[in-house]
Amino acid sequence: MPQLTDLAHEAVSKVVHKGDVVIDATVGNGHDTTFLSELVGTEGRVLAFDIQSVAIEQAEQRLRNSGHQNVTWLAMDHARLAEVLQEEGISNVRSVMFNLGYLPGGDHEIVTHVDSTLNAIHSGLQALTVNGVMTILAYIGHSGGLEEAEAIEAFLNELDSATFETQFNHGNSPKSPRLLIVKRTADERR
């Protein structure tokens, strides 16, 4: 069975094209940022959020080594996503990726929180283009992780099914990460 990260990348790679604007809402070690940067190419743009400057620094070094210069680094809470999009004059993004929990290899006490995450998800969905996709990989093994995942699933279950298509992938055990994929199928903003 493919890993959930591979499934998330597969879902995103089906819809993202050179020149698109995309968001990595949780930079972490920079793997998704690098992946997105390669997908959108030099004509595209990646907005990369993380509350930990060490995550930004590590990911920036990773990308510097690959020669990519299409990333805007944002050392801030992803809850400010709507504010940044407005400041940057961006109204449409093709993809938004989340990896929730804590920075692998970092301080396990610094974790994502349900309120800021739901705010960022809502903002990301509002900016998502038709046929755009959002992936949310929720790791539930840390304090508050299960509650965060369940709150996100409840939120996504309330989305208008005429506008969004959702897919939930749960692992083999109750402690397994969960991959939630949301695709915008229509434009409610008409």
Q: What tokens does 177 get?
A: 């990460």
Closest alpha carbon to 24 in 56, 53, 61? 56
* Helix%, strand%, coil% for the chain, nearest 5: 40, 25, 35
Q: Judging by beta carbons within 10 Å of its beta carbon (0-12, 13-18, 19+), is residue 33 exposed, middle or buried? A: buried
Q: Residue 102 carries which DSSP code?
A: B
* Sequential DSSP letters for 49-86: E-S-HHHHHHHHHHHHHHT---EEEE-S-GGGHHHHHH
Query: How far is Cα 184 from Cα 81, in angstroms, rounded to an integer?
Result: 18
What was the pLDDT predicted at 2?
62
98 within 8 A of 121, measured Cβ to Cβ: yes
What was the pLDDT predicted at 53?
83
pLDDT tens-place values along the chain, 190 residues long: 468 889 999 999 999 999 999 999 999 888 999 999 999 999 999 999 998 888 889 889 888 877 778 999 999 999 999 999 999 999 999 999 998 875 565 555 555 666 788 899 999 999 999 999 999 998 887 677 778 888 999 999 999 999 999 999 877 777 788 899 999 999 875 4
What was the pLDDT predicted at 190?
44
**What residue type is assigned to position 116 of the chain?**
S
Question: Strand, coil or helix: what is 187?
Answer: coil
User: What are the helix (H) ranges across the chain?
Assistant: 4-13, 31-40, 53-66, 81-88, 114-127, 145-157
Q: How far is CA 174 from the centre of its chain?
A: 23
82 within 8 A of 116, measured Cβ to Cβ: no
Q: What tokens does 144 get?
A: 């508050």
